[in-house]
Amino acid sequence: MKSILPVFMLCVLLLSGCATTNQQILDIGDETQLQKRSYQSRAFETADKEKVLRAIISTLQDLGFVIDRADLMLGSISATKLDGNQIRITVSVRPKGDDRMLVRANAQFNVSPVEDPKQYQNFFSSLEKSLFLTAHAGE
């Protein structure tokens, strides 16, 4: 009987790690909304929305993504990369003041959100190169 105990405890431990439905739907993790926004956004010094969107499209294509959806008015691009696994990303662009565009990206890998700021940093540095502009911390 004693020997069952560690296994039982391990199972309880594993199950307690599972998120509830509400947590999964709202993606409530350890970080605040503001933290998420800060690593998922960058501001670029241009007022040309179309130029930024076109640069995002070609950056995503360079990264091996296939564009799923694009909308100039809404300023959003969604794309998928299939390479044995699946990465989905949505990038949105909105004006910030008169002379800046704020670019926001969020990605998911298979069935989990990408929450590593380094990944977003890599994305924005690829975007910088194709826009010939420097990214500034957003928000």
* Interacting residues toward another protein by CB under 8 A: 3-4, 6-7, 10-11, 14, 50, 53-54, 57-58, 61-72, 79-87, 109-110, 114, 116, 118-120, 122-123, 126, 129, 132
Name the residue among 26, 51, 70 with its Cα closest to residue 130. Answer: 51
**Minimum CB distance to another protein smaller for 62 or for 99:** 62
How many helices (H) does the chain have, and how many strands (E)? 5, 7
CB of 117 to another protein, least distance (A): 11
List all residues 6 or more positions away from 5 whose beta carbon is below 8 Å from its beta carbon: none
**Minimum CB distance to another protein smaller for 102 or for 133:** 133
CB of 91 to another protein, least distance (A): 11
CB of 103 to another protein, least distance (A): 13
Please state the separation of Cα 35 from the chain's center in Å.
13
The two structure tokens encoding residue 88: 């989905």
